[in-house]
Structure 1
Amino acid sequence: MFSTVALALLVLFALYALKIYTQFARNLAAAKNSGIPYVIVPFYQSNRFWLLAQIIVEPVVRKLRISSWFDLSFIEWGWHMRYEPFKRFGTDTFLTVSPERNQLYTADADVISQITTRRNDFPKPLEVYESIKIYGNNVVTSEGQLWRHHRKITSPPFSEKNNHLVWTETLELCQAMVNRWFDGDTGKTESKTIFTLADDAMRLSLYVISRAGFGVHLQWPGTEGDHRNGHVKTEEESTAKSPEIAQGHTMSYTDALGSLLHNTLWVLLVPRFLLKHLPFQTTKQAYLAFIEWGKYMDEMFQEKKAAILKGEEGDTLDLMIALVKGAGTTKESSTGKEPPIQTLTDQEIIGNAFIFILAGHETTANSIHFCLVFLAMNIAAQRHLQADLDEIFKGRPVNESDYEAIVPKLFGSMAGAVLNEELRLVAPVVSIPKSTTKDSPQNIEIGGKTCTVPADCYIVLMTAAVHRNPNHWPTGPPENPEKPTHPLSNLDNDLEEFKPERWILDSEAKSTASMPNQETDMEASHLGVNTAADTSAALYRPPKGAYIPFSEGYRSCIGRRFAQVEILAVLAFIFSQYSVELTVDAYASDEEVEKMDDQAKFEIWNKARDEVNRQMNEDMGSIITLQLRKGAVGLRFVKRGKERFDFNTK
């Protein structure tokens, strides 16, 4: 009996080994025939079992700083190694061959441009996005004709008119946030150290998209009313969601949304039936938030639908209004005078609402956070930014400025350069997935040579690497060759360093700068796709495909202008009034700093800078977006003119 079982197991193992060998031989043959350089790796990086093993294996490999073919099996090598593997292999595009599947990695701007332009040949691998369909299909999780349908419906609210609302709402919330930091005493208190900046940026961005995207005012904790000119909103003026629990709910709207976003991973990865019954407090909270926020969204949907049927739709900038109309709900269609033109299911409406809340707040919040961190680490760049802001606003309060006159100038000034440089170094996602379909290899030009991307190939546009590819960016020598910013990547140039000045072509161009023009593309206009450049014409324009923080082509981020305007508003508001410094509390007290000369101050400031740089290299990681995954960066906000560390660090 034992020998029979052993023989059966041996046969099964042999069959499994044969299957693995056959798959590997097929993948290797496809790689050899492609004309693309390739590397053999032991594991397909997205294999479920290997994903679990990486949790233990990868930290060890990274700590030992092993740089080999093996590390290309890790899911996050794109962030931890950046451009180094491409330089090591002497090519900006290569394949990895594993028994399970071939993968193509590229940091070549021209190859990226070809792939994003030929969207039918290189579609999104939808299996990657299955987890974010928790409420229903949406514009991110669809492809082909279905995607066109979702895109056309969801794009109208993302307009310049809505961006104006983003600007004013961001400034109002910035004021509330700063008031809260200084306990309402912004006139007397000269400085304050903040360790909650990442969380506060998340809150600010979430509140902005709630207002500008859904018409929902959320009040900053600890504040009352509207801070603009001392005005307090009446009940009729405000659509604020009550902090109290609404009838029929067990959580308030704010708590449900905050808890859902905080516990998103549980909701994304654990099947709902299992999540409901797991005996852990975190999973119970995640499931409850998922149910509660879904109910709130459904109620909002029904309210908007009823308003449209009565001809009382109100704020046409509202994303939910656009979604309901996209589902075919109009006053005319309800009476049978007109047939519905487009349809979305109730689940697709809620699905799109969720994806815009999820993607629209976290990515922007991270950029706000890291802009402030980078500027605290680079005093000269911060002073340059403040000088530009002084010139643009000429002493007028930022929240009293004219949007149409001011924002184009910010976009083409040091503020725009800071935004662009932060997104170059810390794009929202480290890589952008594409694919070829089964039985459909695709020809592509690589370095003037026609190559073939194998069928069923998982393609990765390496954002972090192409943003650091010295073939596409102006470079200079590293600031300190003896102490490189990154231990592996670009050791002989400054592309790992935050230098917004690399974007400045003409320091006077900001005075006549305008927003980037939309390209003439009838299909893009029909779908609501903004084909204008990501950067101002007054600044450096990288080659097409070299700068992809919002992706590129028709599948580029629908809310990129929304995000850019929000970040520019934060930069303008804060740095017109404050300077931001690294906290040195771990090295010296305020009293000790006061007694130091400039050299001593520089030495402790440099220690703080080294620690933040270590955090940016070692403590960052991606789950949905790239952000600091452990610890916090403490920043000190100081009234301008009261700076403690005001020396040229270059």
Structure 2
Amino acid sequence: MSHEHIISNAFVLFVAGYETGANIIHFTLLQLANNPAVQRQVQQDVDRIFGGEDPKTWKFNDKINPMAGSTLATAMNETLRLMPPVIEIPKIVSPSEDQTIILKGTRYTIPRNSRVGLVVAGAHRHPDYWPTQPSEISDLPTDLDDWLPGRWTRTTANTPEPMVAGAETDNSDELQGPETSQSLYRPVRGSFIPFSSGARQCLGRRFAQVEILVALAVIFQKYSLENAVDDWADDDEVDRMGYDERALLYAKAIKRSRDTMDRAYNVITLSFHGSTHVPVRLVPRGEERFVSWMD
């Protein structure tokens, strides 16, 4: 490849990952605002891993392993599972030979040159391959539609094997050690494919994962994120409220946020479109009005 080819391909790789990475960070932040207990756990892990160190001094080799085994990673993984930026991945069978697959014990042959779409959103919610229990958020019999980072550390009898982000592929760069993603669970191969899978998976997978983890760590080292409640009460009214009133108010904001996220749809990538948004407040740690005590 010429120098110009290398530069142009590098440009495509960075641009292609910009929107998808930004969307995952966006949705993870909104989910953490809706789940105060998880947000506090994220902050505890950030404090444990980084303390008060200036992000400019963070060293990749020192920090990436503990980050990959922390709530930062389980929050990222659960967003990638529930709201993958690309909900369908196009594939094509080799033009030189048919492809044989075995599904639930039955052998199927896919003709050469066939175009196949991997339905990511469906794979990530398939009850045969993901541990599940009754939802505590809705009346649904399973929690597969719920954002639950604890799923990645959940022990269940029906989990076929441990689940770890990235372990569904044969990657030589998988993080190693007791305080890494190895401490989480491994999805069955093919059931967790936010970056596709195999030899033609996303080349920017590792870069995107590190970028998302670091962005979350930088934010939550000094700040908390709360849903804005300005449409229902101003600051003075909130200050006069007791915990019960605040809890009811914040529950209303959480419901609005979840309803809005349910309306996200795919135009190249999964995101909000038009004027759709969820209002939030970024507040210095110690100045929270809701997420510092709500479960």
TM over 0.5: yes
Aligned ranges 1:373-392 → 2 under 5 Å: 373-392=30-49
Q: Determine whether 1:553 maps to 2:198.
A: yes
Please say if residues 443 and 453 of structure 1, whose CA atoms lie closer than 8 Å, have aligned partners that are also in contact: yes
Is 1:569 matched with 2:214?
A: yes
Q: CA offset at residue 558 of structure 1?
A: 0.8
The range that moved more, 413-422 or 445-454, is: 445-454
Shift of 1:589: 0.8
Instruction: Decide whether aligned partners of structure 1 residues 366 and 458 sit closer, same or farther in structure 2, where only a CA change above 3 A counts.
Output: same
| Alpha-carbon shift at residue 456 of structure 1 (Å) | 5.3
Alignment match, 2:158: none
Quote the residue 1:432 is aligned against.
89
C-alpha distance in structure 2 between counterparts of 1:414 and 1:439, whole Å: 45
Aligned to 1:503, which of 130, 152, 156?
152
- Name the aligned partner's letter for residue 234 of structure 2: S
1:623 CA displacement: 2.0
Could you tell me which runs of 5 or more consecutive residues in structure 2 were left unpaired when the two chains were aligned: 156-164
Q: Which residue of 2 aligns with 1:492?
A: 141
1:531 touches 1:553 (CA, 8 Å); kept in 2? no
| Native 8 Å contact 1:427 1:626 kept in 2 | yes
| Number of equivalent positions | 279
Kept in 1: contact 2:33–2:227 (CA 8 A): yes
> Which residue type is aligned with residue 564 of structure 1?
Q
SS state of the match for residue 537, structure 1? helix
Residue of structure 2 in register with 1:642 after alignment? 287
3-state SS, counterpart of residue 141 of structure 2: coil
Indicate which of 605, 608, 619 corresponds to 2:250: 605
Give the distance between the partners of 1:477 and 1:399, measured in 2 at CA: 43
Aligned Cα RMSD in Å?
2.6
Tell me if structure 2 keeps the 8 A contact 1:375–1:381: yes
Question: Residues 412 and 439 of structure 1: is their aligned pair in 2 closer, same or farther, counting only changes over 3 Å?
Answer: closer
CA contact (8 A) 1:431 1:461 kept: yes
Partner of 1:543: 188
Q: 1:429 to 1:386 in 2, by over 3 A?
A: same
**Contact 1:388/1:414 (<8 A) preserved:** yes
Partner of 2:71: 414
Separation of aligned partners in 2, 1:567 and 1:438 = 37
Alignment of 1:115-154 (within 5 A): none
- 1:461 equivalent to 2:118? Answer yes
Provide the rounded CA distance (Å) in 2 between the counterparts of 1:603 and 1:453.
54
Q: Distance in 2 between matches of 1:443 and 1:516?
A: 24
Given that 2:137 and 2:146 are in contact with CA atoms closer than 8 Å, whether structure 1 keeps it comes out as: no
Q: Tell whether the 8 Å contact from 1:444 to 1:451 is kept in structure 2 after alignment.
A: yes
Q: Output the CA distance in 1 between the equivalents of 2:294 and 2:234.
A: 22
The alignment's TM-score, normalised by the length of structure 1, stands at 0.40
Alpha carbons 1:414, 1:504 under 8 Å: kept? no
| Counterpart position of 2:51 | 394
Say if 1:516 and 1:537, in contact at 8 Å, map to a contact too.
no
Q: Measure, in 1, the Cα distance between the counterparts of 2:17 and 2:99.
A: 33
Pick from 105, 117, 127: which aligns with 1:470?
Answer: 127
Q: Residue 442 of structure 1: CA displacement? A: 3.3
1:384 deviates by: 0.9
Q: Distance in 2 between matches of 1:531 and 1:470?
A: 29
Q: In the alignment, does 2:14 pair up with 1:368?
A: no
Equivalent residue in structure 2 for 1:629, among 273, 283, 293:
273
**Cα distance in 1 between the residues matched to 2:60 and 2:152:** 23
2:238 corresponds in structure 1 to 593
User: What SS does structure 1 have at the residue aligned with 2:226?
Assistant: strand
Give 1:394 shift. Answer: 3.3
d(CA) in 2 for partners of 1:627 and 1:617?
Answer: 10
Report deviation, 1:448. Answer: 1.1
Structure number with higher relative contact order (C-alpha < 8 Å, ≥ 6 residues apart): 2
Alpha-carbon shift at residue 504 of structure 1 (Å): 2.6
C-alpha spacing 1:368/1:443, structure 2 compared with 1 (3 Å): same
Deviations 1:469-511, CA, capped at 9 Å, x for gaps: 12212222212334xxxxxxxx3111111111111369xxxxx
